[in-house]
Structure 1
Amino acid sequence: MAQRIIYWFRNDLRLHDNEALSSAVDSLSEIIPIYVFDLRQFDKTRLGFRRTGALRARFLIESVVDLRNRLREKGGDLLIRIGDPEKIVSEMAEEFNANYVFTSKEIAPEETRIESSLSKNLKLNNVDIKLFWMDTLVHAKDLPFPISKLPANLSDFYFLIKDNIKIQAPYPEPSKIKLPQDYDAGIIPSLPMLGIDPQEIPSQTSSGGGESTAIITLQFYIEQNIKGGQDLASHDHLTDSRISDWLSLGCLSARYIYQLMKQSQSNHGNTDTMINNLLARDYFHWTLLRYGPRLFKPSGIKHEFSKRWLNDNLAFEEWVKGATTDVTINAIMQKLNKNGYLTAAERAAAAEFLVNNLGINWTWGAMYFESHLLDYEVSVNWGRWNNIAGVGEV
């Protein structure tokens, strides 16, 4: 019997620069790609809104649809399941007599808990799990310092790494995926299957999730803003170009963006801005890896216990709905609720108003952004809120 590998897609919904998938293909094994919609991600928080809101859920579904289509073009398929990944992936490994499970390495506490639980389940059937670090621009092993010595702020991080950047070349996308003969592909869930009423989506417009649209968007940015020299008048091109939407789900890789920046052969300042944005994103990842659960507590990574936050539900609800006394903040929040997108400056303004004007528990705001921003990434979102609340960088 041929060797078989379960490939569990997580936040790496792409074929290009996917080291784990490339390694599986190069092993000449039969590969069973799977994506699991974890219903826990769509539960409501204690504040009444979903962890993953309707707009984010739609964007995810679109990205999974595109991934399945691209895999089918390579002779493969994407098996879709709904439930707890740590149980389903283990059951799939047993069903297909798999030798290994390959997947990307995550660093947030909940994701690592799921990895650990899956690993224990797999050991019962003598199946090994192999984790690949694929989400950052600079690989963890190429950092010029150990994570325990992570600089205390972004400026110091830039200083230490600017002359020591080692970027691995992106992996090419596989030319062919070999599947076993008998499998049940499963259906991609609708919003109602995830417990979401489509009426929760205020706008029918969509950014178009998936790797295919991601690559087109990146190429357009390079032609217009790098080669064409058009300036976004922003310090955060990653966010304000909306490339971060696709990067958040791994429809693009940071290394692929970097490679195309360099290949543009442009000395325009926009190139440096985008690369600095990618490094800043890395820094938030390293911060989460370094401090773990502290990132999610009101006292933040600084253990700032002297700050006192209000748990004022009425004032928070006014902020959420865009019904405060500030018309600018109201417009920003209404835009977020409608489109799932804010510029970097708008995000900062909304967060600073909640923290400094209202004195509301900043973790509530971070949770709301998690629910609504299409480009939500755990380390970036919570790291930024830590900083705005004064409990982050020292």
Structure 2
Amino acid sequence: MARRIIYWFRNDLRLKDNQALLSAVGSADEIVPVYVFDPRQFEKTKLGFRRTSVLRARFLIESVAELRENIRQKGGDLLIRTGAPEAIVAKLAEDYNAEYVYTSKEIAPQETRIESSLSKNLKTANVDIKLFWMDTMINAFDLPFPVSRLPSGFAQFERLVSNDLKIKDQFPTPEKIALPTGFEAGAIPGLPELGIDPNEIPARSAGILPGGETHALTVLKEYVEQYVKADSIYPSAEPLTDTRLSGWLSLGCISASYIYRSVKVAQSHAVTEDPIITNLLKREFLHWTLLRYGPRMFKPSGIQHHFNRRWKNDSALFGQWTNGQTENQAVNDIIRKLNTTGFITAAERELAAKYLTDTLDINWTWGAMYFESLLMDYEASVNWGRWNNVAGVGEG
């Protein structure tokens, strides 16, 4: 039993079904939970818009605020810091004489670079880091193939994993979180502290669903009651996205495996598979795709290395698309909806993306970056994987 562990929250902003947090609580006398707001996430991209928009930033702040309150109800607290996590978490480990840092494993390039830098910083203080793979429903060793031999398309992936689908067990919620005395909790930053002008919030953004674990569980419960238990068909084939559950899932306010189990238990009497199960498996496939191909997913040539496919880098034409001023009114309406709410349906995303790639012939990575900025449910693997497929450079 360790005396003290630093627990660094990343995209796992929940207490329910959180393997790494439960392991930390069970492995130490005291844990120091911390969340670090990284200003680099809110900087402007080379195209002029924020990497994380004001609406997505607000959603994150709300989710962290609720997480802090939930931890306080367990007898602990959530330390809040702003800066570079690789430096701050290492300094906390040293200040609190921690023996370990526990955190979730990420797969996007920037996040893995931060992990690597943190690991190096911790070594100088003789502190070990333990990473937990929590973002997928299936453990790597439970896949029926090595990640290096991931099937080239979703249909084959689904066929292979469905024969013997091994979903992770649910992990219980910690009953108590013990924090050392004399800690400095820190204040949750407002938008200005993150370098964002609150006036950037669109005038018509009222009614946007708030962040946090409670809201995620409520929306899942409503979906299960109204559609799964009632054996009723959801209006679209993408309920994970279109119910907005994917928004909370993107920050880990709820886990993919928790959604899966909740739906499977409720539909035990049904003959046909609920579409949200297929949605979750598609997400799973895109996560493993990012793990296999890494930076290739973010380049214009895409996963398939289509180097001969040339794209226009036309800023004026791209600006017409981002401002909803193209010749296609349906696309304009979609983009304006995205700009003001941070949400568009799965079908709307595909229509807008196809217009950018097929009609305007604009560099698809620009569109992916724009969606990354604005979508409340942004996940690197899902967003960039879908854009790879729309642009014809993905695995399908």
TM-score (norm 2): 0.97
Unaligned runs of 5+ in 2: none
Residue equivalent to 2:373: 371
Matches within 5 A, 1:315-334: 315-334=317-336
Structure 2 CA distance, aligned partners of 1:228 and 1:159?
27
Q: Does 1:391 align with 2:393?
A: yes
Partner letter of residue 163 of structure 1?
Answer: N
Change (3 A) 1:296 1:109: same
Residue equivalent to 2:308: 306
**Cα shift at 1:275:** 1.1
Matches within 5 A, 1:1-394: 3-202=3-202, 203-268=205-270, 271-393=273-395
Structure 2 CA distance, aligned partners of 1:192 and 1:267?
51
Q: Structure 1, residues 140-165: CA drift from partner, whole Å, max 9, x if none? A: 22111000000001111111111121
Q: Is the 8 A contact 2:228 2:274 kept in 1?
A: no
Q: Is the 8 A contact 1:7 1:103 kept in 2?
A: yes
**Cα shift at 1:342:** 0.7
Structure 1 CA distance, aligned partners of 2:324 and 2:270?
38
Structure 2 CA distance, aligned partners of 1:145 and 1:227?
34
**Cα shift at 1:206:** 2.6
Runs of 4+ in 1 over 3 A off after TM superposition: 265-271
Q: Structure 1, residues 236-293: CA drift from partner, whole Å, max 9, x if none? A: 1110111101000000001111111122144447753111111110100000000000
Unaligned runs of 5+ in 1: none
Structure 2 CA distance, aligned partners of 1:72 and 1:342?
35
Q: Percent identity among equivalent residues?
A: 62
Q: Is the 8 A contact 1:231 1:270 kept in 2?
A: no
Instruction: Name the SS for the 2:188 alignment partner.
Output: coil
Instruction: Name the SS for the 1:29 alignment partner.
Output: strand
Change (3 A) 1:257 1:2: closer
Q: Structure 1, residues 303-342: CA drift from partner, whole Å, max 9, x if none? A: 0011110001111001001110111000000000011001
Change (3 A) 1:21 1:69: same
Q: CA RMSD in A?
A: 1.3
Structure 1 CA distance, aligned partners of 2:273 and 2:34?
36
TM-score (norm 1): 0.98
Structure 1 CA distance, aligned partners of 2:27 and 2:358?
55
Structure 1 CA distance, aligned partners of 2:221 and 2:300?
40
Q: Is the 8 A contact 1:226 1:271 kept in 2?
A: no
Q: Is the deviation greater in 56-65 or in 190-199?
A: 190-199
**Cα shift at 1:229:** 3.1
**Cα shift at 1:357:** 0.3
Structure 1 CA distance, aligned partners of 2:127 and 2:28?
18
Q: Is the 8 A contact 1:59 1:209 kept in 2?
A: yes
Partner letter of residue 32 of structure 1?
Answer: V
Structure 2 CA distance, aligned partners of 1:335 and 1:221?
23
